[in-house]
Structure 1
Amino acid sequence: MKIGLYFGSFNPIHIGHLVIANHMAEYSNLDEVWFVVTPHNPFKKKSSLLDNYQRLEMVYRATKDYSKLKPSDIEFNLPQPNYTVNTLVYLQEKYPDLEFSLIMGEDNLKSFHKWRNYEIILENHHIYVYPRVSENKIETQFSDHKKIHQIDAPIMELSSTFIRNAIKEGKNVKPMLPENVWEYLDEMNFYK
């Protein structure tokens, strides 16, 4: 079985994340997409993140009606800050019968050569790339790589940062979130 790993802080998860993940599950050779909730990205300030389990709860609520989309807390018990290469090694050992691939936006692919042990990741895993609105071209070393697959997914210009700021400003963000995620955010008074 082929699993696509969609890493993110999902702070909060929004309809753009679901559209991309569902598109990957339906229009690529992936059988499932796991939303890997990252406890702490080495490149982000920790202070703006909701608690790990609150973000996992939102992902659970957002994906529960989609059989091919699953929440994952796999990184919660790994040493922090964690790197994707370590998570992949851990998953491969824990689930030897599954084949893991990465899902990332074009913008992440541009900086992929800066990732820890990116060569090992590419040697052992496929990468599925979804488009982002951008002027920059992908690094030539990755543009024709046999393990990197450009997926013609819908371009989603929605961001968690935009949603958090809009909530802070008292704007209605309900259409941007799965309904049960919006209800949870509203009930918990998150980002206000």
Structure 2
Amino acid sequence: MTVKLCIFGGSFDPVHEGHVCMAEHARKYCGMDRVLFMPCSLSPLKEQAPSVTDDQRCRMIELAVQGLDWAMLDRTDLELPPPSWSWRVAERTAERYPGAELFWLMGKDQWDSLEQWGRWEYLSSLVTFIVYRRGGVPSPRKGVRALFIEGDEPASSTRIRHDLRSGVCPVPHLNRKVEALIRREGLYGTARV
């Protein structure tokens, strides 16, 4: 039986409950065996690097997926030289999991800008996209395999960083173990506790 693996890449700066809900939707509705939470080193489409270290983001992901046997941290992108190219990540994942069927989980905003991704047509030959839509209907692309799932997650890493700097406690949509690590290490402008 072919293993279905879903790559879920992103800054995860920080990882939040919305990320986990998106991954759970993909697993449930598209029959994934495993979702690989894959923090990227530096996206070619973003001007700023993540606010915290790669190790800190990885530890937060491990806490966020603790106890979920279908989810795991995968450091593939961090092991490749920057910037992060999705096609390289898909190639390396295919090498690591020979025979697996690969999927790529993304939001509608990423789907809408897919043509800006490096070698996106080649990437499309390696994976089936799972597009998580929050309102609006994504347009299919000829020759590109894609599954569309509906959901509405209000969580935002930008908002969570703002709430942390502003002293909100507890922060909505943030896993309590992740929040404890953030406060213990004084991340995102919080005072160490």
| TM-score, normalization by structure 2 | 0.90
Matched, 1:34 2:36: yes
**Aligned match of 2:77:** 75
Q: Which amino acid aligns with 1:32?
A: R
Q: Which runs of 4+ in 1 moved over 3 A?
A: 45-48
Post-superposition offset of 1:46: 3.5
Matched, 1:86 2:88: yes
Out of 123, 132, 140, the position equivalent to 1:130 is 132
1:48 & 1:28 partners in 2: Cα distance? 30
Out of 148, 151, 158, the position equivalent to 1:150 is 148
Kept after mapping to 1: 8 A contact 2:164/2:188: yes
Post-superposition offset of 1:23: 1.5
Kept after mapping to 1: 8 A contact 2:38/2:73: yes
SS in 2 for 1:175: coil
CA distances 1:17-65 after superposition (whole Å, capped 9, x unpaired): 1111112112212111111011111222345521001000000011011
| TM-score, normalization by structure 1 | 0.90
1:179 & 1:161 partners in 2: Cα distance? 18
Q: Which amino acid aligns with 1:138?
A: P
SS in 2 for 1:21: helix
Post-superposition offset of 1:121: 1.5
Matched, 1:188 2:185: yes
Kept after mapping to 2: 8 A contact 1:166/1:173: no
Kept after mapping to 1: 8 A contact 2:42/2:49: no
Q: Which amino acid aligns with 2:138?
A: I
Structure 1: which 5+ runs fail to align?
Answer: none
**Aligned match of 2:18:** 16
Matched, 1:177 2:179: no
Post-superposition offset of 1:113: 1.4
Post-superposition offset of 1:174: 3.2
Kept after mapping to 2: 8 A contact 1:38/1:75: yes
- Residues 48, 91 of structure 1: alpha-carbon distance in 2 compared, 3 angstrom cutoff: closer
Kept after mapping to 1: 8 A contact 2:160/2:172: no
Q: Which amino acid aligns with 1:156?
A: E
**Aligned match of 2:164:** 167
2:49 & 2:117 partners in 1: Cα distance? 23
Kept after mapping to 1: 8 A contact 2:4/2:34: yes
Kept after mapping to 1: 8 A contact 2:18/2:153: yes
The within-5 A match list for 1:99-110 is 99-110=101-112
Q: Which amino acid aligns with 2:176?
A: E
Structure 2: which 5+ runs fail to align?
Answer: none
SS in 1 for 2:172: helix
Q: Which amino acid aligns with 1:151?
A: I
Post-superposition offset of 1:189: 1.4
